[in-house]
C-alpha cells in the first residue's frame, strides 16, 4: 500500500512540478474563472447580485468550466512526446496513473477555487461567513466527484482525434446528478438558512464513491498510448 | 558522447543463445485496428541475449509489433509471452524487465534531463536514482545539460536522452523503434555502440530500422515484415543486403 501511495504521489508531484514551471493551466483557468464570475455578475444585474444563490450558481459555472480545462491540460502533458507511453511501460498499476492525475486535478481546482471564490464574495457580496464549513464540505464533495469523472474522460478523449470541446460535452451530462445535489445543498444552506444535513452529505459522498470506484476500474480499459 | 565502440563488444555465441529461455515467444500473433489487420499470424521466438532487427517498408507492421511486445496494446489474436510469462496480464515485475525507445521520446519537455530520468528511475524503483541518472547522462553525452529542460534540446539530444530513459532501469529486453531516426552520423555511431554494448551484456535487443545494411552489421538476425506478415527470417551473417532490400520493398 505504501508503495502504491508513493507511486501516486510521484505521478502527481511530477504534474504539479510541470505546472509550477510552465504555469500554463492555472493561468488559463484563473482568467477564465474570474471572467465568468465578473461577466455573469454584471449580466445578472444588481437585484440578483445580492442573492447568495446567484453567487453559488455562478461559482459552480466557473468551477465546472475551469475544471474541464484542468483535466484537458493535465492529460495533454502526457500526450506531448508520447510521455503517457513511458508511464504505461513502467511497472505500476494503471490505477496509479489515474489517482496521480486525479490528485493533480484536485490541486489545480483547489487553486482555482482560492482565486475565484474571493472574487465572487466581493462581486456578489456573498456572505460565506454564514456557513463556511458547510460551503467547504459541499465544494469538496462536488470537486472530488467531478474530478473523478473528468480525469477519466480526459484520458479517453485525449486518445481520440476530436479533442476540442468534446470533454465538456461528455463530462457535464455525466456529472449533472452531482452538480444538482451540490446546488440543492447550497440553496438550502445559503438561501433558506438550513443547516447542512447528514443525508445530503451522504448522498454526495455516495456519488463520489461510485464515480471514483468506477473510474479506477475503467481507466485501464480506456488508456491508450 | 558515448565512449565505447561497436568493435569492443563480444556478443553471445549461437550455442549460448539457443540454450536460454526465449525472451519473446509469439504464436499466431495478430493485431487488428478497426477492420484492418496490421499484424497477421506472426510466430517467432527471440532467444534471450539475441539481437534482432525488424525490417519492412512503412506500414509493414514493425512499430505495431514493437508496441504489442511492449504490452502497450494487446494483440487481437494469438499468444505472446515474455521470459516465459504470458503478456496477457503482465505483472509489474515483467514490465520492469522491458525498456523501450519509441518514435516519440516519452519525456516531459518542461522537466530537466535529470528530473525526467530520476522520475522514471523512481517509478522503476531504481536504487540511488540521482546517481544512476547522472551515470546515464554521462554515457549518452548529456551530463553537461543535466539541468536543462528538455524543450531546449535538439532532436539528437532528445533521442539520446530517450535512450538514457529506456536504460535507466537496466532492462533485460530493449525494444528500439527506429532509434537512429533523425540522428546525425556521430550520434548514430554512439547509439549503435550503446546497443551493441547492451547486447554484449547479455541483454536482448529488438530494433526496427529502415537501413538494411546497417541492420545486417548490427544484428545477429533479420526479420522482414510485409503487410503484417513475416516475409523472411535469417541470420544476418548469411543474408545478402540486396536480397533483403528486395524483400523489404516487396
- Mean pLDDT in chain B? 89
Note the pLDDT of residue A50: 60
Is the Cβ pair B108, A89 closer than 8 Å? no
pLDDT in tens, B192-236: 998 999 999 999 999 999 899 999 999 999 999 999 999 999 999
pLDDT (average), residues B83-108: 94
pLDDT in tens, A107-152: 999 999 999 999 988 888 888 888 889 999 999 999 999 999 999 9
Domain holding A6, by residue range, is 2-222
CB-based contacts of A109, cutoff 8 Å, min separation 6: A63, A66, A67, A70, A143, A146, A147
- For the cut 50, the answer to whether the pLDDT of residue B10 exceeds it is no
- A→B contacts (Cβ < 8 Å), by residue, are 7, 10, 14, 17-18, 21-22, 77, 80-83, 85-93, 224-225
**Chain A residues inside the 8 Å CB shell of B105:** 81-82
Min Cα distance B77 → chain A (Å) is: 17
Q: 3-class secondary structure for chain A?
A: CHHHHHHHHHHHHHHHHHHHHHCHHHHHHHHHHHHHHHHHHHHHHHHHHCCHHHHHHHHHHHHHHHHHHHHHHHHHHHHHHHHHHHHHHCCCCHHHHHHHHHHHHHHHHHHHHHHHHHHHHHHHCCCHHHCHHHHHHHHHHHHHHHHHHHHHHHHHHHCCCCCCCHHHHHHHHHHHHHHHHHHHHHHHHHHCCCCCCHHHHHHHHHHHHHHHHHHHHHHHHHCCC
pLDDT in tens, A173-216: 998 888 888 888 887 888 777 777 788 889 899 999 999 999 99
**Chain A residues inside the 8 Å CB shell of B74:** none
Note the pLDDT of residue B3: 38
Note the pLDDT of residue A197: 78
> Which of A17, A82, A93 has the CB atom closest to B102's CB atom?
A82
* Proportion of chain B above pLDDT 70, given as a percent: 92
- For the cut 60, the answer to whether the pLDDT of residue B123 exceeds it is yes
The pTM for the full model equals 0.88
Instruction: Give chain A's domain count.
Output: 1
Note the pLDDT of residue B99: 97
> Which of A17, A81, A89 has the CB atom closest to B104's CB atom?
A81
Q: How far apart are CA A152 and CA A91, in angstroms?
A: 21
> Which of A77, A80, A89 has the CB atom closest to B95's CB atom?
A89
Min Cα distance B124 → chain A (Å) is: 6
Note the pLDDT of residue B4: 36
**Chain B residues inside the 8 Å CB shell of A83:** 106-108
**Chain A residues inside the 8 Å CB shell of B165:** 86
- For the cut 70, the answer to whether the pLDDT of residue B14 exceeds it is no
pLDDT in tens, A20-77: 998 888 999 999 999 999 998 888 776 666 666 778 888 889 999 999 999 999 999 9
Q: How far apart are CA B51 and CA B65, in angstroms?
A: 16
Amino acid at each position: 500500500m505504501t508503495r502504491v501511495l508513493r507511486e501516486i504521489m510521484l505521478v502527481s508531484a511530477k504534474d504539479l512540478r510541470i505546472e509550477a514551471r510552465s504555469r500554463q493551466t492555472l493561468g488559463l483557468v484563473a482568467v477564465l474563472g474570474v471572467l465568468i464570475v465578473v461577466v455573469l455578475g454584471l449580466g445578472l444585474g444588481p437585484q440578483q447580485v445580492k442573492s447568495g444563490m446567484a453567487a453559488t450558481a455562478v461559482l459552480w459555472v466557473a468551477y465546472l468550466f475551469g475544471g474541464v480545462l484542468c483535466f484537458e491540460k493535465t492529460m495533454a502533458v502526457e500526450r506531448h512526446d508520447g510521455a503517457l507511453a513511458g508511464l504505461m511501460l513502467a511497472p505500476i498499476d494503471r490505477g496509479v496513473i489515474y489517482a496521480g492525475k486525479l490528485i493533480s486535478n484536485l490541486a489545480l481546482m483547489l487553486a482555482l477555487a482560492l482565486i475565484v471564490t474571493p472574487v465572487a464574495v466581493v462581486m456578489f457580496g456573498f456572505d460565506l461567513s454564514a456557513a463556511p464549513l458547510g460551503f467547504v464540505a459541499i465544494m469538496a464533495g462536488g470537486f472530488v466527484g467531478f474530478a473523478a469523472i473528468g480525469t477519466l474522460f480526459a484520458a479517453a478523449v485525449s486518445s481520440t482525434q476530436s479533442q476540442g470541446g468534446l470533454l465538456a460535452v461528455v463530462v457535464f451530462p455525466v456529472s449533472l446528478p452531482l452538480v444538482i445535489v451540490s446546488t440543492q445543498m447550497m440553496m438550502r444552506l445559503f438561501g433558506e438558512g438550513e443547516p447542512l444535513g447528514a443525508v445530503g452529505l451522504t448522498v454526495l459522498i455516495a456519488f463520489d464513491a461510485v464515480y471514483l470506484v468506477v473510474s479506477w476500474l475503467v481507466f485501464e480499459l480506456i488508456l491508450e498510448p | 558522447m558515448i565512449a565505447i565502440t561497436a568493435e569492443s563488444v563480444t556478443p553471445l555465441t549461437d550455442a549460448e543463445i539457443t540454450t536460454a529461455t526465449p525472451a519473446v515467444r509469439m504464436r499466431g500473433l495478430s493485431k487488428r485496428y478497426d477492420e484492418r489487420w496490421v499484424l497477421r499470424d506472426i510466430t517467432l521466438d527471440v532467444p534471450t541475449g539475441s539481437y534482432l532487427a525488424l525490417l519492412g517498408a512503412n506500414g509493414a507492421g514493425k512499430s505495431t509489433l514493437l508496441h504489442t511486445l511492449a504490452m502497450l496494446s494487446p494483440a487481437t489474436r494469438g499468444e505472446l509471452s515474455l521470459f516465459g510469462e504470458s503478456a496477457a496480464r503482465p505483472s509489474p515485475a515483467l514490465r520492469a524487465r522491458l525498456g523501450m525507445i519509441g518514435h516519440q521520446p516519452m519525456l516531459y519537455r518542461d522537466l530537466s534531463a535529470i528530473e525526467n530520468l530520476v522520475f522514471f528511475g523512481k517509478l522503476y524503483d531504481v536504487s540511488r536514482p540521482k546517481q544512476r541518472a547522472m551515470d546515464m547522462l554521462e554515457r549518452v553525452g548529456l551530463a553537461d545539460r543535466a539541468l536543462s529542460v528538455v524543450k531546449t534540446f535538439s532532436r539528437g539530444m532528445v533521442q539520446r536522452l530517450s535512450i538514457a530513459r529506456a536504460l535507466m532501469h537496466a532492462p533485460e529486453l530493449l525494444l528500439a523503434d527506429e532509434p537512429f531516426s533523425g540522428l546525425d552520423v556521430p550520434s548514430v555511431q554512439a547509439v549503435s555502440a550503446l546497443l551493441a554494448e547492451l547486447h554484449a551484456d547479455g541483454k536482448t535487443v529488438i530494433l526496427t530500422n529502415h537501413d538494411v545494411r546497417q541492420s545486417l552489421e548490427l544484428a545477429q538476425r533479420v526479420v522482414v515484415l510485409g503487410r503484417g506478415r513475416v516475409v523472411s527470417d535469417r541470420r544476418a551473417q548469411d543474408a545478402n543486403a540486396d536480397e533483403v532490400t528486395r524483400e523489404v520493398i516487396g
